[in-house]
Structure 1
Amino acid sequence: MIYFVGAGPGAADLITVRGWNLLKEANVIIYAGSLVNKQLLESAKAECRIYNSASMTLEEVIAVMKAAEEKGEMTVRLHTGDPSIYGAVREQMDLLSKADIPYEMVPGVSSFCGAAAALKAEYTLPDVSQTVIITRMAGRTPVPEKEEISLLASHGATMAIFLSTGLLVPLRERLIIGGYQEDTPAAIVYKATWPEEQIFYGTVGNLPEIAEKNKITKTALILVGDFLGDAYERSKLYDPAFSHEFREAKK
């Protein structure tokens, strides 16, 4: 069996209990290079074979999985955050399916959740934003034309922008073209939940300058939206005047 396991955003104790138990049982672990906290690998059995996928191709990763499967061994493919977000897992699962090798997915805490925790922020505030857009700038890997940043920005929703720290000048341009004002609150969260975590607050207009000043070039998440501001409406859920299945409204 192959298990695709989400390692979480960085802190070793933010992996799920299921993922942790699988790491302890694995005969083979293939982990996503510098993006995964090495402390997680300390839970592996002494005889476990560990591979760093940063230096491997897709075909080489699959070859390791197949070799383990032929021996009746269990493999953990350890991805950063949650495997379903920018994890390049679909191509692995398709090849495993063609080879009739069973696999399962174990979800993890994504870095955009870790970043919200670091910011002590709520992405979905009443009367501010009820939508979170998870996206990235087009780089060496393109994005579909209909998902170009300025088109997504036109909604004015909360945005969590991955893999774009080195593209902040064009990102700023596309956000402003899309409708965000230069003074729209923004933040850069570097290595959320890691010991070296850093948080930088600013606006859409000065995102490039913040990153340059603090020498942030990678491994950071860009958060944009008025959820970072102070104005919002109180939730109806806990409003005394609001009735629902479990509580009658109070006068």
Structure 2
Amino acid sequence: MHTTTRSRWSATGTALVVALAVAACGSDEEPGGDSQAAATSAETSAAADPAEFCEAAVDVESAAAAGPPIDETTPPAEAQAAMEEFSARLGPLLERAQETAPEEVADDVATSIATMQQALSTGDMAPMEGAEFMAADDAIDEYMLAECGYEQIEVTGVDYEYEGVPDSVPSGVVAVTFRNEGEELHEIGIVRIDDDVDMPLAELAALPPEQSESMVQFAGAAFAAPGESDTVFLRMEPGRYGAGCFVPQGTTPEAEGSGPPHLTLGMLAEFQAE
């Protein structure tokens, strides 16, 4: 998961979602809570119900995607209040995910949470990009893909278009695996278009953010460096959806590009949840 701030059809950028999820996870924990997380995981994993964990994990992703309506311009006091409210909502969901983690993935869940706590206590987000955290995140995704029984779709990103976006998907939880076969960093950011909006997707995407953000609800996103893949689990209500890559042209894992968003170059697609 990358932490570069990018404009999107949601008031919450990916970097903010990551930071707030970390804060929510660690807000009631003191630094050094890693051992407590591991102990809790060991005690509960033996009797865990995989279906409960799957739903709990999806709830976390859904809540994180619907983060607080703040950005870099929000006054500090207002941002802090919104962050605290968001933390209060997300914290119990994170606890539930750890409590229900099955034995096969309990260590990975504990590692993920411990890494978030470390990032919070130090203010350094680098551990979130580290090999240990990414391996745990990948293991959790693999478990959920194999055991949760959710609808699965695979989408490929190239420079600059999507391949494999279906015309429709069943409503409910859908696992979207995004594979990047391009030479730049890409994402698939997914929004649900409000029911009363009939504007063509290309026109909607071209609107100023202050207009388009009021017409959609951000559902989630998957990011992948060249040659890699990422999976996001989305709880999708029936309706019209748009997928777009908001990454600036020229972006690599090492640096953000200065060109236009990839969606303006063709990385834009529409589908229905039925």
State TM-score, norm by structure 2.
Answer: 0.24
Higher helix share: 2
State TM-score, norm by structure 1.
Answer: 0.25
Q: Which has the larger radius of gyration?
A: 1
